[in-house]
Amino acid sequence: MCPAALAVSAEPPPGTVHALLINGGDRPASNYLSHLQHLQDMVALLRGRGVAPDRIHIFSADGGDEAADLATRETPPPGFWIVEGTGLGNRLKPQTALANTRWDGVTLHPARQAALRQWFEAARRTIAPGDRLLIFVTDHGTADRNDPDASAISLWGEKLPVREFKALLARLPPGVQVVMVMSQCYSGAFASAMYAGDSPEPSGDVCGFFSTAGDQKAYGCYPEGRDRDRIGYAFHFIDALGHRATAAEAHTEVLATDDTPDLPLRTSDVYLARLVAAQAAARKTDGDALADSLLAEAWRKRGAWEADIRLLDRIGSAFGTFSPRSLRELRSRETEVEALAKQMAAYTDRWQAALGELKESILQGFLGAQPDWQARLAPGVLEGARPEERAALLAELLPQLIEFAQSRPESWQKVERFRDHAARGAEARWRLDVRKAALHRMRTILVGVAGRALLEAEGGEAAGGTPLRSAQRRAVETLDRCEAFVAGDPPVPGSTARAEGPPPFPPLSAEIALLKEISPSWLGVRFRAVPESVRAERRLGAGANFLDAVYPGSPAAQAGLEAGDIVLGPPSRPFEASRELREWTMTAPIDVPLPLLVVRPGEAGKDDVEFEARLVLRSDPVDLPQLPGAALVGEQAPALSPTLAPVGATDLPELDHRPHLLFFWATWCAPCKQAVPEVMALAEARGLPVLAISDEDRDTVASFLKGAAERGFPAVAIDPLRKSFISYGVSGTPTILLVDGEGVIRHRQVGYSSDKGLTLAGWSWRPR
């Protein structure tokens, strides 16, 4: 059995498709509208694919009860940001509205264990061997790190643990194929349902797709998710299933299009990772090291793994990371992206904290100048206000408050700067979280390839392998067939509109540039407000701050400040509020001497000493990761790896200070072969040397070149350590770059098709 046979979808078994859709919701306040939208979208999809309505069964929240069970989020009014995060904003923020779920023409059953047990008992008589059952769960979930079988789906006011879920499945007749699609938190724990009873191997009757790993929250649990509509694993999966024939194909598309921090995986991923881990334990070696050795063997026949390589490339291109071929490569990038994400989060939090303090200060100034508003916004008054009264109050307040803030230019400039840095930092922080998830998705793919390579290398009984390996190979084959589930009639090619994926992420170099831009100036102290009693005793202003700590080597230490000093502010205008020291520090120019008035309390009855410190602030002392990304047009081309080695009789061309073409390719890549004649025609027309670079082994490339010699081929180098692939951010073959004599990239093209050809401006070509 070749690797391709392991991955290819087989014809689905005959039988009727049934669907069980579950949304527990837990309770009214957490039963979000998105859950209902998931159900509605899935029902529309199934009906559109010919699944009869009487075979689609929906268990949602309290079922047909008329009590309110659905939470809908009111949209904040324009300008609400000016009070968001303040004490007043928290009291006035739009409330979650509760309503009864209404769905005309659809019967809703209560999402309770008793109701589900009753349904499964009835299913014993209505679902026959050979039938297929889709179980779709959109919901919340809970985890138990000590006992994965205790991880659970949140039903309506109760939970459905993994072990109870497996007990429900056991009620079905043998031979019923069950396919799970689950988007709740910790959903990956339910992958263990592939094992029937105490069997160590999957039966192949149960498989599934999950939004995230068994120990991870899902996208809906992230605060940012509540501000983004119709985004996330379930929506992406349903959309993909609208134009993909099988669930496995939909899952593959989701890996490259779900721009959330989810970690989608399937049962075969979980099983293959288990095999690799078990083999590593048996050999008493590191799991990643074993996986890399297996990957090295697999890549000797890369054409057999083209689908996996193309998927890695697609994910790398979509999320601006890179396309790894080993876990060693991946670990390095994971560490770097994690460091960048951590620093972006730290800076974003600082700007958000400073913005919150500034908004609170503006609000207090407004209320101090508007006694009538102070009375209208008193906590006791707001507590008894109806939602419509709160909305009217906000509609009247916000324009006046913004006008008040804008009338103070110095404060307003700070508001705009803090808000801009906080917002852009938050978006970049989100993107970096998604990039980390993308790297994790690629790790899952690589470990899966390693697991399949392990089974391929050791073979079955007929090839001298063990009975256990034969059973494991059969288990993978049955999981592949189960995951190739067709939900009703497959879509006719071209009959459904395919939603465009999200736009590609910016290169990592852009994130590093943003991090530098929003880096606040650094003083190097920890401080707190001077208590009012101490201020009164020492006759200090309201903006005085105690220095609790002065960090060694910091600008504060170099200026002679010490812990215990009291900072008053600039000599020309002492701080009027304790928060101003933070604002002053974050926005002050760097490398410019700046004065601050400081009081050093006297010791043993001595008088306090007031002095003027001269500080030269610096950027936050952070070592930013040097993350290679896609080398873009207009940028300086990275240096080629010195480990590039020529293949064949031709030496590598001299490229320094000469315009030239770089052609990243692979012997198994059909578009690469299609591109060669036009690449060579361009090179001849413009007198350009061409260097073709492959990351395959020498023997593979040399064998290919023997057959390509008569057709003409560029000079070829192999990049065994993939250093040039990584430095140029190659996530897809072919990648074609035109570099000018100054070493600047003038054209970059990923992919090639005969109808479009090379997309270089001013170039046209007709094959002879």
List the structure tokens of 109: 């059953």
Q: Residues of the chain with pLDDT > 90: what percent?
A: 75
SS3 sequence of 270-281: HHHHHHHHHHHH
Q: What integer pLDDT is reported at residue 708 of this predicted model?
A: 67
Residue 225: pLDDT over 50: no
Rounded Cα distance, 318 and 573, in Å: 50
Phi and psi at residue 139, in whole multiples of 5°?
Answer: -175, -170
What is the DSSP code string of 215-233? TS--GGGSGGGGGSSS-SH
Q: What CATH topology corresponds to 645-750?
A: Glutaredoxin (3.40.30)
Residue recorded with tokens 């689609």 = 56
Which residue do the tokens 């036009």 mark?
678
Please state which CATH number belongs to domain 520-619.
2.30.42.10
How do residues 379-425 score in pLDDT, each as one tens digit?
Answer: 888 887 888 888 899 999 999 999 999 999 989 999 999 999 999 99
Q: Which long-range contacts (CB under 8 A, 24 or more apart) does 533-542 make?
A: 538/566, 538/599, 538/608, 540/566, 540/568, 540/599, 541/568, 541/569, 541/574, 541/575, 541/576, 542/575, 542/576, 542/577, 542/578
Predicted confidence band at 219 (pLDDT cuts at 50, 70, 90)?
Answer: confident
Q: Who has greater pLDDT, 56 or 7?
A: 56
Say whether pLDDT at 659 is over 90.
yes
CA–CA separation, 340 and 580 (whole Å): 28
Distance between CA atoms of residues 133 and 203, nearest Å:
15
Using alpha carbons, select from 159, 165, 164, 166 the residue that is nearest to residue 142. Answer: 159
Closest Cα to residue 140, out of 181, 110, 184?
A: 184
Distances (CA, A) of 742 to 170, 266, 285, 660, 717: 69, 48, 48, 11, 22
Residue ranges with strand state E in 554-620: 566-569, 593-600, 609-616, 618-619
For 523-571, how does the pLDDT look when each residue is reduced to its tens digit (9 = 90+)?
A: 999 999 999 998 998 899 999 999 999 999 999 999 999 999 999 999 9
Cα 644 to Cα 716: distance, rounded to the nearest angstrom: 9
Contact residues for 276 (Cβ-Cβ < 8 A; gap 6+): 287, 290, 291, 294, 447, 450, 451, 454
pLDDT by residue (tens digit) across 439-487? 999 999 999 999 999 999 876 555 556 888 999 999 999 999 999 999 9
> Where do runs of H (alpha helix) occur along 131-176?
162-169
Please give the Cα distance from 347 to 339 (Å, whole number). 13
Report residue 386 as tokens.
Answer: 């109806």
Note whether 331 and 395 are within 8 A (CB). no
Highest mean pLDDT among 91-105, 275-289, 525-539: 275-289
Cα separation, 729 vs 731, in Å, equals: 6
Place of tokens 């094992």: 195
**What is d(CA 348, CA 422) in angstroms, rounded to the nearest whole number?**
5
* Pair 183, 231: CB distance under 8 Å: no
DSSP secondary structure letter of residue 32? B
Residue 160's DSSP bridge partners are 153
Q: Say what the pLDDT of residue 346 is.
A: 93
Angle 235-240-245 (CA atoms, 0-180°, nearest 5)?
140
pLDDT band for position 11 (50/70/90)? very low
Q: What is the mean pLDDT of residues 153-165?
A: 97
Q: What is the pLDDT of residue 675?
A: 95
Residue of 39, 78, 33 whose CA lies nearest to 56? 39
Strands 690-694 and 660-664, by their bridges, are parallel
Q: Please give the span between the terminal C-alpha atoms of the chain, in angstroms, as a whole number.
A: 42
Quick check: 519 and 349 in contact, CB under 8 A? no
pTM: 0.90
* Architecture of the domain whose range is 1-64+101-262+485-492: 3-Layer(aba) Sandwich (3.40)
Report how far residue 207's alpha carbon sits from residue 200's, in angstroms, rounded to the nearest whole number. 15
Q: Could you say which DSSP state residue 522 is in? A: E
- Under 8 Å between Cβ of 737 and 637: yes
Compute the distance between CA of residue 472 and CA of residue 195 in angstroms, rounded to an integer.
13
Q: Is 652 exposed, middle or buried (0-12, 13-18, 19+ CB in 10 A)?
A: middle
Q: What ranges do the domains of the chain cover?
A: 1-64+101-262+485-492, 267-458+497-519, 520-619, 645-750
Residues whose CB is less than 8 angstroms from the CB of residue 324 and which lie 6 or more positions away in sequence, other chains included: 312, 316, 330, 333, 442, 446
Residue 8's pLDDT is: 35
Q: Measure the CA–CA gap between 178 and 155, rounded to whole angstroms.
A: 20
How far apart, in whole angstroms, are the C-alpha atoms of residue 52 and residue 19?
Answer: 10
For residue 627, what pLDDT band results from cuts at 50, 70 and 90?
Answer: low
Residues 12-56 have pLDDT tens digits of 345 899 999 999 999 999 999 989 999 999 999 999 999 999 999
Locus of tokens 């256990």 = 468
Mean pLDDT calculated for residue range 290-305: 95
What confidence category does residue 501 fall into, taking pLDDT thresholds of 50, 70 and 90? Answer: low
| pLDDT value of position 494 | 62
**Residue count of the chain:** 768
Beta strands 96-99; 70-73: pairing state: antiparallel
pLDDT > 90? residue 108: yes
The Cα–Cα gap between 162 and 150 comes to 6
pLDDT bucket at 229, cuts 50 / 70 / 90: low
SS (H, E, C) 695-755: CCCHHHHHHHHHHHHHHCCCEEEECCCCHHHHHCCCCCCCEEEEECCCCEEEEEEECCCCC
Distances from the Cα of 429 to the Cα of 349, 509, 567, angstroms: 10, 14, 33
